[in-house]
Amino acid sequence: MFTDAARKAGAAQRKKVNDVVRELRPFLLAHGAVPMILTFVPALGTWLARALGFN
């Protein structure tokens, strides 16, 4: 359930893995939600290129 990175981060700061994961939860949710949104609404991913003149 916990990633190796979460274990290392907790060990470095002497915190419990649960505490580290609790703090990372919003970032992990965004990390999953943004690709899903870009997949289902592709115009959001291409607006900047179009605004700069790339076609």
| 15-35 per-position pLDDT tens digit | 788 888 899 999 999 999 999
pTM greater than 0.85 (yes/no): no
Structure confidence at residue 2 as a pLDDT band (50, 70, 90) = low
Residue 12: pLDDT over 70 = no
Find out whether 21 and 2 touch, Cβ atoms under 8 Å.
yes
pLDDT of residue 29: 94
Structure confidence at residue 36 as a pLDDT band (50, 70, 90) = very high
The number of domains in the chain is 1
- Taking CA atoms, 18 is separated from 11, 37, 39, 52, in Å, by 12, 28, 31, 44
Residue-number span of the structural domain to which 14 is assigned: 4-51
